[in-house]
Amino acid sequence: SNYPPYNGDSFVDASNNQYLNSPASFNCTPYGYDFGVPSGNAMGPATNGRTVVDFIPQVAGLPFPPPILRLSKAQRKTTPTGVNYGSASTGKQPSPPPAIKIFVSYLTIYKLGARKFLLDNNVSPLGCLPANIHSKKHNTSCVEDINQRVAFFNGLLPNVLTKLEKILTGSTLVGCDLYKLFEDVCNQPASYGEKC
């Protein structure tokens, strides 16, 4: 297939969450509402509209990538489109063996000919999540000690991408900075037609 696979969290989740034993559920209004889903038939993405990976095929005139867990094993092998592996709020982080398995899958994709990779997000400002804002003491609009730790982690990622490009000869890895995007939206909300 010439279509890309997508991996990620809630920023790319195309409803895989609804097929997992997850503490969070997105199968109700408003989730999927702006995607044209009829009322009462929410699809389960962690957004009321399209995710970032829905815009890529839309611009390219391709079909939307289905969530991998919606497909049967046979469909997974024969789908003519890319698939979406993203999942939101599973409540678990990969332990080393699954993380290694994911890395091996990226190497496999590389061996199949993929050379351009878009890493759709670093870690967004977790100190601005409502759960953290309401459960932790802070004097600012967000919990800055959490955001400082996230910013430190995110600062390490460019070097990781550079090293990975050297391992995957001839590849181009581009990382999107969601932390900066959220920061820009909150610092200049009117520029985005919003209020923070």
- Please give the radius of gyration of the chain, using alpha carbons only, rounded to the nearest integer: 18
For residues 93 and 7, give the distance between their C-alpha atoms in angstroms, rounded to a whole number. Answer: 14
Nearest in space to 30 (alpha carbons), one of 50, 49, 11, 10: 49
For residues 12 and 120, give the distance between their C-alpha atoms in angstroms, rounded to a whole number. Answer: 8
Last residue of a domain, one of 37, 70, 92: 92
Same domain, 68 and 116: no
Q: In a structure prediction context, what are the per-residue pLDDT tens digits for the chain, which is 196 residues long?
A: 555 556 666 666 666 666 666 666 666 666 666 665 555 455 556 666 667 667 777 777 777 777 777 778 887 777 666 666 555 544 444 444 555 565 676 677 788 888 877 775 678 888 887 778 888 888 888 899 999 999 998 888 888 888 888 888 998 887 778 888 888 887 788 887 776 5
Same domain, 182 and 106: yes
Same domain, 6 and 75: yes
